[in-house]
Amino acid sequence: MYHRTIKSGCRIEDRRLEGTESLEACLAIDLVVAWRVYWLTRVGREKPDTPCDQILKEEEWRVLSAWATGTMAETVPRVQEATRWIGKMGGWLARGKHDHPGTTCIWRGLVRLPTLVQGYLLALHVHGIRASP
């Protein structure tokens, strides 16, 4: 799954880099990104009751909870809940109680999350707006 994430998610084969140094730098970044996607997928399945502040920044899990439920969570959600929210943001359909998002949906959700967090932080900075936790 890790190699599939590198190949399909990072699209490593589509890179057209000229030199060895640029290829190494690009590969180093892609490997870290693919590892994080794979790791989040596994943690959501294997350690579902872990508080998600172990894997996400506070503003990330707050924005996720607001996106998924319509209100910001007052307490730190569990990892399983957070990875399911990320998966849903990436197109996961949650077809069963024991179903978990895969690396593709986690990848897509993680691509969208920073933009939402940036909007939240911008609202805090510019307007002083803060949703009540």
Please give the Cα distance from 82 to 75 (Å, whole number): 12
Name the token pair of 3: 């190699």
Mean pLDDT by 10 residues, the chain (133 residues): 65 68 76 86 93 94 95 92 95 85 91 94 81 54
pLDDT of residue 13: 65
pLDDT of residue 63: 95
CATH of domain 2-127: 1.10.740.10
DSSP secondary structure letters along 72-91: --SSPPBHHHHHHHHHHHTT
pLDDT of residue 47: 94
pLDDT of residue 68: 95
The structural domains of the chain, with segments of one domain joined by +, span 2-127
pLDDT of residue 35: 85
First CA to last CA across the chain, in angstroms?
A: 36
pLDDT of residue 8: 65
pLDDT of residue 4: 66
User: pTM here?
Assistant: 0.79
